[in-house]
Amino acid sequence: MNSYLIKSKSLFVSVLFLVFFELLSYFLLKDNIFNIYLSTRNLWYLVLVNAVLVTFSCFWVSFPNFLKEETFFKTIIIVFFDLSIFLFLFFSSFFLLNQIIVVVSAFLFFFLFRSIGEREAQFKFVNAVSFLSAFFFFFSAYSLLENTFFPYWVVALMVIFFSNLLLYYKLEHTGVDKAHKSFYLILSAIVMAEVFFASLFWPVPSLFLRSLVLVAAYYFSWGMIDIQARGAANRSNIIIYLGVFVLILVLIGVAILAKNII
């Protein structure tokens, strides 16, 4: 697949995503755009447009290799990332933050689509995008609880399902056998369910901070699974993941304390 052609296509579709999410962000916050007002029907139209956009982009950039297993697999993280951004923008009311996320996501989309033409996708980059997707989705899940009448167990299942899909995608890169993969997925589901339900009783008012706690738990569980799967479960690797996990929790604690003082 021609490298220059892939880059050109990736740049074009990333601009399309930039325009779409920019219009979506403005539409959701202002309730109308071009005299078209926000309604349930128009919202479903936006969902449809987004689905068509991501499907077209994945197919066009990877054509004619879209149906190849390796190529199709690379598009999964793009779909996850797109879904998480759409949901985040739907629930977030911070216009400036939304604008930053829209611009940054356009750059990330460019590199994600460009990786379709590479033999080996940069796993560290894809891994980072997966954590960002998890944060956006977890924020949307907490927002769903705050603003709708969805039962707790339904939202918990959504969190477990999404995080396990991301985990399954990443486990495919490690070459873990089927038996161990199933075990890791079950273990991760238990951890995420426990942390999610426990977080409902924490004195953390901010949905952002709650989402960060959940991402930290997801990061730590993934880290333990990753080093075990790679046969690198030594003290130094465990300390690195544990250190980052504790650091995130400390920063969240400081943020809560500072907010209470102010």
Confidence grade of residue 68 (pLDDT, cut at 50, 70, 90): confident
Who contacts 46 (Cβ-Cβ below 8 Å, separation ≥6)?
24, 27
Confidence grade of residue 4 (pLDDT, cut at 50, 70, 90): confident
Confidence grade of residue 14 (pLDDT, cut at 50, 70, 90): very high
CA distance readout (Å), 18 to 88, 94, 214: 15, 17, 28
Whole-angstrom distance, CA of residue 74 vs CA of residue 102:
22
Q: Which of 131, 125, 85 is nearest to 105 (CA)?
A: 85
What's this model's pTM, rounded to 2 decimal places? 0.84
Domain ranges of the chain: 1-121
Of the chain, the percentage scoring pLDDT greater than 70 comes to 84
- pLDDT value at position 261? 47
- pLDDT value at position 34? 59
Whole-angstrom distance, CA of residue 24 vs CA of residue 30:
10
Confidence grade of residue 54 (pLDDT, cut at 50, 70, 90): very high
Q: Which residues partner with 33 through β-bridges? A: 36
Whether the Cβ atoms of residue 146 and residue 207 lie closer than 8 Å to each other = yes
- Average pLDDT of the chain? 81
Whole-angstrom distance, CA of residue 29 vs CA of residue 104:
19
Distance of CA 20 to the CA centre of its chain: 18
Kindly provide the residue ranges of all beta strands, DSSP E only, lying in the chain, ordered along the sequence: 32-33, 36-37
Q: Which of 29-38, 97-106, 119-128, 212-221 has the highest mean pLDDT?
A: 97-106
Whether the Cβ atoms of residue 33 and residue 42 lie closer than 8 Å to each other = no
Whole-angstrom distance, CA of residue 199 vs CA of residue 142:
10
Q: How many CA atoms lie within 13 A of 221 on its CB side?
A: 25
Whole-angstrom distance, CA of residue 203 vs CA of residue 40:
34
Cα torsion 229, 58, 81, 194: sign: negative
Please name the amino acid found at residue 53. Answer: L
The two tokens of residue 81 are 């990332």
